[in-house]
Amino acid sequence: MAIIKVQKGTKDILPVEMPLWYLMEDAARKIFGAYGAQEIRTPIFEATELFARGVGDTTDIVNKEMYTFEKSERSLTLRPENTAGVVRAFIENGMHRLSAPVKLWYKGPMFRYERPQAGRQRQFHQVGVEVFGIKQPSADAEVMLMAVNYLKALGLRDLIVEINTLGCPKCREEYKLKLKEVIKPYLSYLCEDCQTRFEKNPLRLLDCKVHECQEIYSKPAIKEIIQGDFVCDECAKHFEDLKEYLDALGIKYQRNKLLVRGLDYYNRTVFEVKSNNLGSQNAVCGGGRYDSLVKNLGGEDTPAIGFAMGMERLASLLGEQNAKILDAYIVSNNQLEAIKLAEYLRNKDIACEFDLTNKKFVKQLEKASKIAKFAVILGEDEMKANKVSIKNLETGEQNSVDRTVILDYLK
């Protein structure tokens, strides 16, 4: 009978990999919590309309990548990203009545039908933050600081922060018209996606990764429009104030006027954190402002900003983590006494195991050194003296102690 294998674009996260995932999750809980953010968990499927309205019907996500299915005459979609879901929860649960800012963070699986690439699968995981209720650039700066400090907590240093401003809907319209005017002569040479974007969302032309399109957008007349400052005075002031905050906080950044992000809901500030260790697909974090999204999804007019990071990409940067998963491993050939001691320690919050197959001491110690911090040796001599020998598997130090003080020693 043929073996059923994991589906393309998905992968098992094996026990040996879990210390790395615990590291990422624990760092999120600690760093984001230090800023007052609380964890939220939303369903992995939502009404398809949520993503069509929230993410935008001109995006590749909605047009090409969503896993959508019909159930009881309802159209449902596995979440391709989580900002829309968090906004829906914010509205539905009346969180706008809470004192601003409302800071939320999340982690979990997302689903997009696309070609698997470095650090990205069809089922992938994201960790992210959403902050509601503050329109001032101080919120933009703090959100970027949360992202940078999270990555630093994971030990990442080779990072580049890129920022841009998309302006507000009012000042962006003039820019779109100018952009379409200079690109129109080259329209027939653009890829099929860009020809669609030209009419529906010309800003997203700049997000195209097709080499031939990028060559066209680098032509002097087009580049002059792209590199121009099109934003209104209010949006320009917001961006300048943001840079002042970043300078004061010591966050190194650079302006990238081609940075527009791939989702329709962004306005004003957009940013990415990149790593030089990921090759061409080097963005490890992306985010920005979405001040109109809450209102567009039926809530009250509420400014907001957030970011998300792909956890598989983070994992590829961090490498293997050799964390010891047990506090103690009981080395003994008397399984009855070993299981009794193990259960006693577990009831005292000491994570431990013993050898169920009764191997030789040397084999048991070898296994203990790979998975535990301490080896608790229970041989014939120790049992007669009502003692155990405890070996620190990191330093090699070994001591004989009375069984009544095992807990003190291990803790």
pLDDT per residue as tens digits for the range 208-226: 778 888 887 777 777 777 7
Give the CA-trace dihedral at 192, 197, 202, 206, to 10 degrees: -60
Two tokens, residue 246: 């970043």
Query: What value does the mean pLDDT take over residues 145-168?
Result: 90
Buried b (16+ CB within 10 A) or exposed e, 307-346: bbbbbbbbbbbeeeeeebeebbbbbbebeeebeebbeebe
Q: List, for residues 46-105, the tens digit of each pLDDT value.
A: 999 998 887 766 666 776 788 898 988 899 999 999 999 999 999 999 999 999 999 999
Mean pLDDT estimate for the chain: 87
- pTM of the predicted model as reported, rounded to 2 decimal places: 0.82
pLDDT at 263: 66
Percent of the chain with pLDDT over 70: 93
Q: Is the peptide bond before 80 cis (omega within 30 degrees of 0)?
A: no
Q: Which of 5-19, 47-61, 249-263, 370-384 has the lowest mean pLDDT?
A: 47-61
What pLDDT score does 198 carry? 76
Dihedral sign computed on CA atoms, order 329, 335, 341, 346:
positive
- Which CATH number does 326-410 carry? 3.40.50.800
* pLDDT attached to residue 106: 97
Residue 406 CA from chain centroid, whole number: 40
Q: What is the mean pLDDT of residues 400-411?
A: 83
CATH superfamily of 15-168+231-318: Bira Bifunctional Protein; Domain 2 (3.30.930.10)
Once rounded to an integer, what is the mean pLDDT over residues 134-150?
96
Helix 18-34 and helix 311-318: axis angle, to 10°?
110
Average pLDDT over residues 20-43: 95
Is residue 196 within a helix (H) or strand (E), and if so which, with residue range?
A: helix 192-200
Pull the structure tokens for residue 60.
């590749």
Kindly list the strands in the beta sheet with 283-289, ordered across the sheet, starting from the edge strand earlier in the chain: 38-39, 102-111, 123-132, 304-310, 283-289, 267-275, 159-165, 253-255
Mean pLDDT of 30-40: 97
Question: Per residue, what are the HEC states of 292-307?
Answer: CHHHHCCCCCCCEEEE
- Please, are residues 245 and 206 in contact by the beta-carbon 8 Å criterion? no
Min mean pLDDT across 109-118, 132-141, 221-230 is at: 221-230
Return the sign of the alpha-carbon dihedral for residues 290, 50, 84, 278.
negative
Residue 237 pLDDT > 90: yes
Indicate the pLDDT class of residue 145, thresholds 50, 70 and 90. very high
Angle at 29 between CA 316 and CA 85, to 5 degrees: 85
Q: How far is CA 132 from the centre of its chain?
A: 19
Residue 219's pLDDT is: 77
pLDDT tops 90 at residue 231: no
Q: Are 50 and 88 in contact (CB under 8 A)?
A: yes
pLDDT at position 308? 96
Q: Between the CA of residue 100 and those of 133, 235, 252, what are the distances in Å?
A: 5, 22, 28
Both tokens assigned to 23: 């590291």
Sorting pLDDT into bands at 50, 70 and 90, what band is 320? low
Q: What is the pLDDT of residue 361?
A: 86
Matching residue, tokens 């950044």: 253
Structural domain boundaries in the chain: 15-168+231-318, 326-410
Alpha helices (runs of H) in 55-154, residue ranges in sequence order: 60, 83-92, 137-153
Compute the average pLDDT of residues 283-295: 92
pLDDT of 278: 56
Q: What distances in angstroms separate CA 351 from CA 36, 208, 333, 343, 386, one per listed residue?
A: 31, 51, 20, 10, 22
Task: State percent of the chain over pLDDT 90.
Answer: 44
Cα pseudo-dihedral 343, 346, 351, 357, rounded to 10: 10
* pLDDT above 70 for 280: no
The more confident residue out of 407 and 223 is 407
* Residue 274 φ/ψ, nearest 5 degrees: -120, 155
Among 222-236, 283-297, 392-406, the minimum mean pLDDT is found in 222-236
For residue range 350-361, list pLDDT tens digits in order.
999 998 888 888
Q: What is the mean pLDDT of residues 300-310?
A: 95
Torsion angle defined by CA atoms of residues 244, 247, 251 and 256, in that order, rounded to the nearest 10 degrees:
60
Query: Who contacts 175 (Cβ-Cβ below 8 Å, separation ≥6)?
Result: 167, 203, 225, 230, 231
In 3D, which of 136, 130, 132 has the Cα closest to residue 234?
Answer: 136
